[in-house]
Amino acid sequence: MSAIQPLNLVVDIASGRLEPATTVVTRRLSDMRGMYADAAAEAALIERDDSVVYEVFQYDVPEETGQLFVCTTVLEPGRVGDEYFMTKGHYHRVRDRAEVYYGLRGEGQVVLMTEDGRCSSVELRPGVVAYVPPCYAHRTVNTGSGELVFLAVYPGDAGHDYESIERSGFSARVLEYNGSPTLVEQEPSEGSR
Ligand code: M6P
Ligand code: ZN
């Protein structure tokens, strides 16, 4: 790829799209099979309409130290059983690469997990920055009734490690509990499916 020249990127808050975006990723429920706790509810929803859960609009840069990827994510509202719609989640392939999320519309949480499996969460809403420190797995959850839209910036050489999450999951999930989003620890057996 040729060197990136200085440029402006524009976020359309209404649609959540980043312009220009050179990569657009669309993930449906069927692309996330096995990630939600309630397998029966997940299968039923996929059977019914296999809805889009989220889209990512990214401006690609060379995958090199010193570069920064910029992208927006539009995460739809919804639930699989009691569990709110969420992103797949990942570690960075180069573990010690951090990331910043900036909330633009809607409400949600970023679930963070250390490599030894300790989970916590931080808020995401308009005007709020969520800081993902080096070495943490991260997943975004939409706990609101409208779309969750946020901007993310992360190092060009970070990469995505989805396999570790597909193998072991997150050790906590955000579930609706008595009407409120609650971070619930999972049994180790479930986390290590
Ligand atoms: C954020 C960033 C992206 C990521 C996207 C969706 O925008 O962290 O790098 O791709 O969320 O998350 P995931 O890749 O885990 O599906
Ligand atoms: Zn990341």
Is the shortest distance between the CB of 142 and ligand 1 below 6 Å?
Answer: no
Q: Residue 87 C-alpha to ligand 1 middle, in angstroms?
A: 7
Q: What is the pLDDT of residue 192?
A: 47
- pLDDT band at residue 188, thresholds of 50, 70 and 90? low
Is the shortest distance between the CB of 124 and ligand 1 below 6 Å?
Answer: no
The sheet with strand 83-84 has its strands ordered as: 79-80, 83-84, 172-177, 180-185
Residue nearest to atom 15 of ligand 1 (CA): 89
Peptide bond into 20 cis (omega under 30): yes
Is the shortest distance between the CB of 90 and ligand 1 below 6 Å?
Answer: yes
| Mean pLDDT of all residues belonging to the chain | 96
Q: Residue 173 C-alpha to ligand 2 middle, in angstroms?
A: 18
CA–CA gap between residue 127 and residue 141 (Å, rounded): 17
pLDDT in tens, 33-56: 999 999 999 999 999 999 999 999
Q: Residue 136 C-alpha to ligand 1 middle, in angstroms?
A: 13
Q: Of 125, 138, 41, nearest to 83 (Cα)?
A: 41
DSSP state, residue 31:
G
Above 60 in pLDDT, residue 14? yes
Q: Is the pTM of this model over 0.85?
A: yes
CA–CA gap between residue 119 and residue 111 (Å, rounded): 7
Is the shortest distance between the CB of 104 and ligand 1 below 6 Å?
Answer: no
Residue 110 backbone phi and psi in degrees, to 5: -105, 120
